Amino acid sequence: MSTPETDTEIETAGNFIRDIVADDVNQGRIADVVTRFPPEPNGYLHLGHAKSICLNFGIADDFSGRCHLRFDDTNPVKEEIEFIDAIKEDVRWLGFDWGEHLYFASDNFQQLYDWAEYLIENGNAYVDDLSADQIREYRGTLTEPGKPSPHRDRTPEENLDLFRRMAAGDFDDGARVLRAKIDMASGNINMRDPVLYRILRAEHPRTGTDWCLYPTYDFAHGQSDAIEGVTHSLCTLEFEDHRPLYDWLVEHLPVPATPRQYEFARLNLTNTVLSKRRLTQLVDAGHVNGWDDPRMATISGFRRRGIPAAAIRDFCTRIGVTKAASTAETAYLDHCTRELLNKTARRRMAVLDPLKVVIENYPEGDGEELTAVNNPNDDAQGTRPVPFSREIYIERSDFMEDPPKKFFRLGPGREVRLRFAFFITCTDFIKDADGNVTELRCTYDPETRGGNAPDGRKVKGTIHWVSAAHALNAEVRLYEPLFTVADPGAGNGDFLDDLNPYSLKVLTGCKLEPGLADLALGETVQFERQGYFCLDPDATPAAPVFNRTVGLRDSWAKAQKKS
């Protein structure tokens, strides 16, 4: 089984951020470690977020501290309740618990507003009447310094009056902004009088229409950290440039604590996209079936595909945390998934591309139950009965009319073992008018029940099968990478041009072992010799649907490809 409850523990791994935290604790600078995971509720969580979640909650665990879940909901035009709920579910499913520490930046709107007035009173912020375009012009460029806004030297009194009127709704959206008064000539553009508040008449998911002006990320984030007592504020590299501003605000405001920001490299994965902008585009344009499409690198997509949370956690600790831009190969995640599932997943038999086999010397109308092992790597998982009868299905690819020597499966006159059942020998095959093989005629050796011959003779191949009369009919969905190239849209191309048209393959009429009818949503099992599969939420008792989580390694197929 691979439900979250039975997942194995994550291993902790050292990294430069843990070293910093450990040093702070050892030097007595920090008594209680507090971290936070701060998503903006404008989309679903993806693998990159999982890396951050594992880091933040992992560090809190390691140092007996705590990790908050805080929604960075400062932009009401992009944020929705649906995303808040989905994010909470995903974090929980990943195996983390924020306890009582659920926060929203919007909880701090009043305090932030008061601090904005404080900044104004101390001459550290001013109201600017310039338009967005003008502000951009005045900001200068990467290589040229900016120039001061004509409104930069308003008196604190005038600024306070204007700011209060901004809050009172006296001005149109975008008419004025509040800016920090720092340094228009700074090489760091974030320090060129960054905007702290903008007028926005949008209904906020939590504060409704209480406010018509909202703080920017820069003004809300660090102060929220300080209010919550966050000690280590971990974010990705693109915020490194914001750290001077983060520190400037903490320094110029009477905040209750001095949190520190540390940055690490964001995660990239080959053959997929991991930016919210692109994921949103895939969903909105219908290239996938929603945020939880099993092909998406979202947490909910992985969950639906059957990847256990523990495999994702394991992957996150294995890739590490550094400041070097990195792109992990999907093969690495696949490996983590297989490694965990190999140890935990129950085995079942399923024929995806059925070919009927009639065992001619098996009494018509008879049947029996054979015993199959649930997990050869874990005896504790026990056994199960599997029905056997005269007509069965085997995988079409397990028969060749004219097989090469190295082919260990079925062919005219060849003998193989049916897993957990009997040796059978192919005596004949039937073709239709088009030359397709439609049925195999075989004989079985009753002495080989269970899979061993008393006379000691061996067979090279063992194939899986399902009794025709007892088979569960199902749809099975196979997934391939969403994109055909490692880095979709590399250079200046459109990433949509790299979409893999064959990323989803739907098989119908698959024949599954009957016990699979009782498989619970959320459990991933192994279909022997094929891969790991789980029930899809689309399934109904009358029409089961399974997703392939990941295939088994297949050295035979690999060898075939080479020759």
Partner RNA sequence: UGGGGCGUAGCCAAGUGGUCUAAGGCACCGGCUUUUGAUGCCGGCAUCCGGAGGUUCGAAUCCUCCCGCCCCAGCCA
Q: Residue 370's closest CA among 452, 474, 450?
A: 450
Interface pick for RNA out of 63, 126, 399, 420 (rule CB under 7 A): 420
For the chain, state the CA radius of gyration.
Answer: 31
In the complex, the smallest distance separating the C-beta of residue 320 from RNA, rounded to whole angstroms, is 3
Residue 409 is a binding residue for RNA (CB under 7 A) = yes
Indicate the residue among 3 and 42 with the shorter CB distance to RNA: 42
Query: Whole-angstrom Cα distance, residue 54 to residue 72?
Result: 18
Residue 335 is a binding residue for RNA (CB under 7 A) = yes
In the complex, the smallest distance separating the C-beta of residue 220 from RNA, rounded to whole angstroms, is 7
Interface pick for RNA out of 24, 89, 158, 240 (rule CB under 7 A): 240
Interface pick for RNA out of 28, 99, 142, 454 (rule CB under 7 A): 142
In the complex, the smallest distance separating the C-beta of residue 451 from RNA, rounded to whole angstroms, is 2
Q: Determine the interface stretch with RNA among 29-37, 132-140, 438-446, 494-502 (rule: CB under 7 A).
A: 132-140
Residues numbered 450 to 469 that lie near RNA (CB under 7 A) are 450-452, 461-462
| Selected catalytic residue, list 70, 260, 276, 338 | 276
In the complex, the smallest distance separating the C-beta of residue 326 from RNA, rounded to whole angstroms, is 4
295 is annotated as an active-site residue: no
Q: Residue 550's closest CA among 536, 532, 534?
A: 532
Residues numbered 165 to 204 that lie near RNA (CB under 7 A) are 173-174, 177, 187-190, 194-195, 198-200
Query: Whole-angstrom Cα distance, residue 158 to residue 166?
Result: 12
β-bridge mates for residue 462, sequence order: 417
In the complex, the smallest distance separating the C-beta of residue 155 from RNA, rounded to whole angstroms, is 21
266 is annotated as an active-site residue: yes
In the complex, the smallest distance separating the C-beta of residue 254 from RNA, rounded to whole angstroms, is 23
238 is annotated as an active-site residue: no
Residues numbered 41 to 70 that lie near RNA (CB under 7 A) are none
- Rounded alpha-carbon distances, angstroms, from residue 10 to 61, 268, 308, 516, 556: 11, 21, 12, 29, 33
One-letter amino acid at 175 equals A
Query: Whole-angstrom Cα distance, residue 443 to residue 211?
Result: 80
Residue 529 is a binding residue for RNA (CB under 7 A) = yes
Interface pick for RNA out of 334, 353, 439, 480 (rule CB under 7 A): 334
Residue 417 is a binding residue for RNA (CB under 7 A) = yes
Long-range CB contacts (within 8 A, 24+) of 335-339: 336/311, 336/312, 337/307, 337/308, 337/311, 337/532, 337/549, 337/550, 338/532, 338/550, 338/552, 338/553, 339/311, 339/314
Interface pick for RNA out of 332, 441, 487, 514 (rule CB under 7 A): 332
Residue 555 is a binding residue for RNA (CB under 7 A) = yes
Are 341 and 532 in contact by the 8 Å Cβ rule? The answer is yes
Query: Whole-angstrom Cα distance, residue 270 to residue 268?
Result: 7
Q: Write out the two tokens for 496.
A: 């949509």
| Selected catalytic residue, list 92, 266, 318, 441 | 266
Residue 36 is a binding residue for RNA (CB under 7 A) = no
Residue 72 is a binding residue for RNA (CB under 7 A) = yes
Residue 348 is a binding residue for RNA (CB under 7 A) = no
Q: Residue 373's closest CA among 521, 551, 520, 526?
A: 526
Could you list the active site residues?
40, 266, 276
